[in-house]
Structure formats: structure tokens, C-alpha cells
Amino acid sequence: MNQLLKNVLTLAAVVSVSVVSAQKKSATPVYLNEDAPIEQRVEDALERMTLDEKVAFIHAQSKFSAPGVPRLGIPEVWCTDSSHGIREECAWDKWSGAEWTNDACTAFPGLVCLAASWDPELASRYGVAIGEEARYRNKTVLLGPGLNIYRTPLCGRNHEYMGEDPYLVSTLAVPYIKGVQSNGVATCAKHFALNNQEQRRHSTDVEISDRALYEIYLPAFKAATVDAGSWSIMGAYMKYKGEYCCHNQYLLDDILKGEWGWDGVVISDWGGVHDTHQAIHHGLDLEFGTWTDGLSQGKANAYDAYHLADTLKTLVKAGKVSEDVLDEKVRRVLRMVFRTTMSKDRPYGSFVSPEHSAAAREIAQGGIVLLKNENKVLPMRPAEVKKLLVVGDVATASMMKSGSSTTLKAKYEILPLDGIKAAYPNAEITYMRGYEVDKRKAEPLKDVVEAAREADAVIVFAGLYYKGGQDAEGVDRKSMELPYGQDKVIEALCGVNPNYAVVMVSGTGVAMPWKDKVPAIVQGWHCGSEAGTALASVLTGEVNPSGKLPYTYYASLDQCGAHVLGDYPGDKNHHQVYRDDIFVGYRFIDREGIKPNFPFGHGLSYTTFEYSNVRINRTKGNANSKWVVSVDVTNTGDVDGKEIVQLYVAAPKGKLNARAVKELKGYNKVALKAGETRTVEIPMDFSSLAYFDEAMHDWNVLAGEYKALIGASSQDIRGEVAFEVK
């Protein structure tokens, strides 16, 4: 008998035995019963898997996929980068594209723009839309959202995150995650935890107090896993307590799976796994991206060399690792598969639809922030502008390609200049590059200044590109200054034309040495496919801006605690102490009495709002007593607008060392017609008053007099009311 026939008969015998065994176990396998409880399906499938199948199930088979169990009909797990859209299909074992012709997506605004909207409804809409695109492409896991805290303005990935305040990030992460997962696609909240810089991210060991960890850096992840139920989470590159975060006993076993009781999958960041023992025993469930490049490694399958691959199998066979340890990892991945690709309730999704374009546009419009508007330079209404000068390479530069996880192949991209041309159809529009970028030549500066004198209005588009050392993964910025001499161009135009506005296209704060000389400044973010349309709608007044800053806009690094206290980016041994502790962003600004360029929560409107009659009422009747803080808000201008009313809480003075002056504990975005008054209510409970007590290793509330502060920003407090906690 030839060898081929022997192999066929052997395979048939294995399948026959398997089927008979399955039939003895149950006529219809429970794991295939879509109506059965997920935990029953998980245990049934687990019992049917061989050791080889279990091991293969928990590590990658390609750059972005892990194998399922073909024998049992359990599909592969497919992941996609998703910073602000669904990444193009990659080649099997490369970062480069697979050159498909049908994978060009909708590009949504960066998550920092969503954060600037302070709008949970928009967050839900964002999640649903990007989840529909991921589902249409049949992805199991969407690698996001990014929830790391904005600790330094130099961090290269600030544009992927949602600002400096854990409360704000948490309230937006929950609806976003629920929106994505309503499509049967798992979110993978990242990067857990302490990945607050790109510089030395693969080697820095962070030292931090438990209080700062629990109060600042963990709340958004707890909201993502406990409140929103994210079905997976991604470990960070950094180290904590000497262990890499992708296999970190304290973070993953003690906190995430222990204290929080979370039942999802811990996925490694690509290249984030370094130690076999820790990978097996310290919380990692699914290994991706351990630096191999497939067949060129000289193995039949280089992925078998992963920490959770052949090495683990050998240890289990030798009795050195209990199969129970392996089974727990498999359970978690199975649970995610049954929640996603094997769920009968999974919808079909949609891709690059008109609804997604509308969502991208409205998210951008909701997040654009009017930072400054002297003499009502903005809006520049089309009927009043006959001759318009647009300056800046940013106005014509695509923001899709970055060479990192933010790289997109967008179906279309409306650039700022295109949006301006469409919004001012009757104006004579002159475009001048202003500064040279990548050998794209610029006009002499004197010619730009002369053109500005002759125009009715001038708009300069400036900012950062999706490039290394700017808004991009892998490396932090070297300074807060704008690249390519943009500041020189902006300065040269100051005082030349009174109708002068600067639009900052960036995902993080920049130095603005010209801030006091420019009459109007807009923070325009990276707004995706609909960038040009969204920006133009705000500049023309078609849309009244309503965004507010989700981070402190520092004038210089000397105003940022991470830099003032001298611990960024760490010492020569790549050890970094977070000496700023809980004093991140406005907490440090408040403590030091600093006036930044623009404070956390700041954002103007084309109308004005008056606050009055701040009061507080307590809801009685249970141990979890709640308060409701109320304020009357009036639109005192002549156009409709939206205001974000912010609630901060100030703790009793002198009761606890190192307590922030105040902390954001609530907000409400309210739409008001011109002249309208509405009562805005913001609820509050004991968690709003709590601090993390390191001695108790638990949350604690001190007795004493607290203050509820109502403001239009962290430094624009409009009213306050005191209340006692006994």
C-alpha cells in the first residue's frame, strides 16, 4: 500500500473515531448549539480539543490571525488595527498590504477628536460605525480603543488616545466599546497599562504609587472591562514591577482577572512577549507578533517558536506545566469566539456607507475646538469673503499613511483645501504652501505676506503629520515646536490682515509662541475622510463649534508635571518614576497655580452662555446616597449652540496630603437655542468623592465639607456649592 493511501485511511479513521466519540458525548455537540449558554459551549468545545489544537489556538499563525480548530468547525481569529478606521488587508506574514482592491475604508477622526466632543452619544455612534466596517470585513477583534492617559504632550500616540482625565476617558470608552461589540466584533482596549510614551516603550520599567495607578491610569480600563464588558484587552510594551505588561502578574492576574473578575482574552501587543515562564503563568492568553517573519526563519512554521507554542506543548507533555493552565487560556479565547464569529446574533455589517461618512463628519464637527476668537473673526461667512488666502502644506497633505498602526487605505479623503473651495464657491481662493515639506517647494515668505495684505481673509493650516517624531507610533516628539518652520510663517502673517485664523491639524498640543498675536485659533485635529468638509463647516459658521479640550494645552514643557519633575523619559537604565503621581494635566496646573495656553475643558462657541443658580440636592433612601448638582444655563447670544457644563469636586482641605485641588466628576453637553434657558442636572455619588487608600488597598471617602464646582472649563468656574459628608 502506498504512503498516500495510508495517510488517507489514517485520516479517515481519526475523523471516524472523532465523530463516534462526539456522538457518544451528545447527539448534537453543545458547542455548535447557538442557543446554549456560552459557558456550556466553551466547556464542550474544550473537552473535544486535542493538546495540539489547544496550543495552536492560543498563538498567531500569521501577522494578524490565529488558527481556529478546523476539525471542529471553529473559525480563525482575525484582528485588525483600528485607530481611526479598519486597516487594509496585510500580506500573510508581512506588514505590507495584500493589495486587495476592496479594502479601502472610511477614515474616522482620531479618538482625541472624539474625546474633545465630550459626547457619549457620538462615542456610541463612532463605535457602531467602525464596528460595522470591521464586521463587514469579517474581523473578530478590533484592536482598540486606545485608553492610555495623556501624560506628556510629546507622546507620539496621543492622537490615538482620549486625553488626560480618567473620568472623561471612561465615560466615552464605555459607549464606544458597546457600539463596536453590538456588531459581534470584540474590542481590544489598549494598552494595559502605563504605555504613556513611545520613547523607550520596549524597555522602560515604570515605578508608580498604587494611588496614582488606581486613580489615574486604571479607571478607563476598568470601565472598558467591567462596565462595557470589552471581550479582549491588549497588554502594553512597558514594564511594571520588573515584568513586561503583556505578562504581568500584578496587572493581569491580581487586578484584571482577580479584583475585577474579568473573563475576556488578554492579547499581547505585537512584539510584547519576552519570557516563556511569565507568558504561561502571568495572565497572557493569546500571543501575537513575537518577532518572527515566517518562513525565512528556517522553520516550517516560525510561529511554532512562539512562547505559547511548541515550548508550552513540550512543558505540558513533560508534566512541568499543568494542562489546566493551558485550558484556562483556551477557555477565554473560545468564549470570545462564541461571542463573535460563532454567535447567531452577529449582524452582517456595512462598509464605506453614506451613514458612515455622515458619522465621521459629525464626530469631527462635534470635536473641533474654537480656542480663541478675538473680534469675532470667525465665522468667516461665504457671503462676506470675496478674496480668501489659504496657506499651509497641511491644507493639501493626506493624513492616511503613517507606517504604523494608524495607516489607512481610505476610500476617499476630503482635504482641508477641497473643503474650503466647496464652502466658498463664489470667492477667489489663492493657495500658497508657505513652508517646505519633503521637497514640496514653498513660495518666498514675502510673497505670502503680500498676498495676505490683498485678501479679505487669511486661513493658515498648520500642524503635525502622521510621521515618526510627530503624530505617529514608535517615537515621541523631541519638542513641542511645530516642524518645517511653520511658526515662522504664522508669525510673519500676524498683524498683516485682521481677518486671520490659524487651524491646527494635530492630535496633541503644540507650542504657540504666536498665540497672543493671532486673533482666531481652531484646534482641528486629524478628522479623517470628511476632514475638509467638517473644518469648512465650522469656519463658515454652518456649524457652531462645541468641542472642548480633553487635555491641558501647555505653553511649554515647563508646565507639565512629567517634565518639571524630571522623570521623563526615564534614567539611563530605562527606569522611570512617575514623580508627578496623581498630578497629571490640570491637577498639576491647579496645584502650581500655572496659566497654560488653554486649560483642560476649554472651548469657545459662536454664542455665549450664562450660568446661574447652582444648587445641590441629595437623593435619600439607600446606602449609596446620591447627589444631583443643578445649574441654570442660558444661551445669551443670537445663534443656537451647545455648551459642555462641567462638574468638578473639591475635597475637604487638610484632610489628606496630596489631594488634587479639584477633579472632574461629571459633565453634560446641552443644546440651547438662542435665548433659551435650561436647567442642567449632573448626578454624583460616593465614588465621586473617593480616593484610593493605599493602606486599605481600597477606595475610601473622608468625612468633611466638599465643594461641587460648576464650570465652562477647569479654570473657568462659574459657581459652587458646599455639602457635608458625615
* Other residues' Cβ atoms within 10 Å of the Cβ of residue 538: 25
The cell numbers describing 280, all together, are: 504561561
Distance CA 249, CA 237 (A): 15
To the query of whether residue 269 is one of the catalytic residues in this protein, the response is: yes
Distance CA 370, CA 658 (A): 33
The cell numbers describing 511, all together, are: 507650542
Distance CA 389, CA 535 (A): 16
The cell numbers describing 65, all together, are: 490571525
With b meaning 16 or more CB within 10 Å and e meaning fewer, what string describes 602-624?
Answer: bbbbbbebebeebebeeeeeeee
Q: Are 225 and 233 in contact (CB under 8 A)?
A: yes
Q: How many CA atoms lie within 13 A of 701 on its CB side?
A: 16
**Catalytic site residue from 269, 393, 567, 580:** 269
The residue to which cell 512541568 is assigned: 320
Distance CA 174, CA 155 (A): 24
What DSSP string describes 8-75?
A: HHHHHHHHHHHHHHHHHH-SS-GGG-TTS-HHHHHHHHHHH--HHHHHHHTB-SSSSEE--BGGGTBP
Alpha helical stretches, state H, 250-322? 276-281, 310-317
Distance CA 117, CA 96 (A): 34
* Other residues' Cβ atoms within 10 Å of the Cβ of residue 217: 25
Tell me whether residue 661 is exposed, middle or buried, using C-beta atoms within 10 angstroms of its C-beta: 0 to 12, 13 to 18, 19 or more. middle
CA distances to 15, 45, 73, 135, 247 from 12, in Å? 5, 21, 17, 35, 40
What type of residue is 488? Answer: K
Question: Coil, strand, or helix at residue 449?
Answer: helix
The residues assigned a catalytic role are: 269
